[in-house]
């Protein structure tokens, strides 16, 4: 029996050697290549050093590649380099973007929200506040001057009115101070020496990590949230509201002055939900006091809802609509608690679903419509 098994093994080995010689020498497998499949991409191991052209890190040369294979190798090398640096493909791919590019989306450009024009053209769509306040130049190409300025991403309409009244806006070289002045498509509008253009509206949602300042620029050179969304679009965007340096969670960026004003103004009662981690457990008595409203040095801090999270008094969920500076931290500090961590988990109906810490995504068209026309 042993001799039979040895004979079978010898025959199989001879057959494999014969087959290999008949097929010719086997081509060396490229790095990461799967048999009969697509080539696997490497994401940053040391053996995946960036190659230029056909050169290898050890100085050896590869056989010349065809156009398709060369392009694939170049893209792989670029991707490995980018993943190491964490900076993204410039305007092609951003590594801290959470959502996938939509079909037809151009690299480095925000998506087009094509259905918004139907709401812009119909004053009867949206909430009652919008129907009462919107001007009546729908269906034409002319716009009120304050709306034109807001659409250029400069400020809100209310702030645009102040610019107009102070004589800082010129139309076709002439200062215009008339409220309600309508801009024609051929008009040139200037703020100072800058020609204003109606920008594409951009809406970016970031899950802010710690140690980033919510400001567009810091004279001390500290890290700001603008670094995290630097490659989101070519349009200039700015954060709506503020989160403290050590507060994490949802932060919206846009160049839509109207949306920014609507989300920031207290009259719109924009709701925010925070999860608070405390160093000591919250007592039932203090939970009741927070729900009734805490009297602070700048007035009463009204809370829409407050509850212990999953029965653990170290973690508290709190819902508010007021936007005073550091209001959540001040509520708990007033009662003698140290806030270990503060995370904004919901903002104006937007949530952190599928948005990891430090990542951003564009708002969907449905989310933009709700913010612009139904809040």
Kindly list the catalytic residues.
244
Cα–Cα nearest to 296, from 337, 265, 324, 264: 324
Beta carbons within 8 Å of 138's beta carbon, 6+ residues apart: 120, 121, 122, 123
Interaxial angle between packed helices 257-264 and 157-165, expressed in degrees from 0 to 180 and rounded to the nearest 10: 110
Task: Give the number of other Cβ atoms within 10 Å of residue 277's Cβ.
Answer: 15
Bridge partners (DSSP) listed for residue 363: none
Task: Give the number of other Cβ atoms within 10 Å of residue 36's Cβ.
Answer: 5
The SS3 of residue 69 is: helix
Token pair for 227: 């670094």
**Residue 80 phi, psi dihedral angles, 5° rounding:** -65, -40
Per-residue burial over 242-264, b if 16 or more Cβ lie within 10 Å, else e, is bbbbebbbbbbbbbbbbbbbbbe
Cα–Cα nearest to 255, from 273, 221, 223, 232: 232
Interaxial angle between packed helices 257-264 and 365-373, expressed in degrees from 0 to 180 and rounded to the nearest 10: 60
């Amino acid at each position: 029996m042993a001799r039979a098994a040895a004979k079978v093994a010898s025959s199989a080995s001879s057959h494999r050697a014969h087959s290999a010689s008949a097929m010719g020498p086997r081509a060396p497998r490229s790095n990461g290549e799967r048999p009969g499949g697509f080539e696997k991409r490497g994401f940053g191991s040391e053996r995946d050093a960036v190659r230029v052209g056909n050169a290898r890190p050890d100085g050896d040369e590869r056989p010349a590649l065809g156009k398709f294979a060369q392009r694939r190798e170049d893209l792989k090398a670029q991707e490995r380099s980018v993943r190491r640096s964490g900076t993204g493909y410039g305007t092609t791919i951003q590594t801290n973007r959470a959502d996938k590019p939509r079909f037809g989306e151009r690299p480095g450009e925000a998506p087009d929200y094509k259905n918004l024009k139907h709401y812009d053209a119909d004053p009867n769509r949206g909430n009652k506040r919008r129907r009462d306040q919107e001007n009546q130049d729908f269906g034409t190409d002319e716009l009120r001057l304050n709306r034109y300025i807001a659409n250029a991403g400069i400020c809100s309409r209310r702030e645009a009115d102040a610019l107009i009244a102070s004589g800082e806006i010129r139309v076709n070289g002439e200062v215009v101070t008339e409220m309600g002045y309508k801009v024609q498509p051929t008009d040139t509008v200037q703020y100072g020496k800058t020609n204003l253009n109606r920008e594409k509206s951009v809406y970016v949602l970031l899950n802010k990590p710690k140690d980033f300042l919510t400001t567009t620029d810091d004279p001390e050179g500290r890290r700001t949230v603008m670094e995290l969304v630097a490659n989101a679009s070519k349009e200039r965007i700015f954060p709506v509201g503020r989160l403290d340096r050590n507060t994490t969670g949802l932060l919206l960026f846009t160049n839509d002055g109207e949306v920014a004003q609507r989300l920031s103004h207290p009259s719109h009662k924009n709701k925010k939900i925070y999860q608070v981690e405390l160093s000591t457990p919250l007592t039932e008595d203090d939970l009741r006091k927070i729900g009734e409203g805490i009297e602070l040095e700048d007035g009463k801090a009204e809370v829409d809802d407050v509850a212990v999270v999953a029965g653990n008094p170290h973690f508290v969920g709190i819902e508010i609509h007021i936007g005073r500076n550091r209001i959540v931290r001040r509520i708990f500090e007033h009662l003698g608690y140290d806030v270990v961590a503060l995370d904004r988990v919901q903002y104006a109906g937007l949530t952190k679903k599928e948005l990891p810490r430090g990542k951003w995504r564009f708002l969907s068209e449905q989310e933009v419509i709700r913010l612009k026309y139904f809040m």
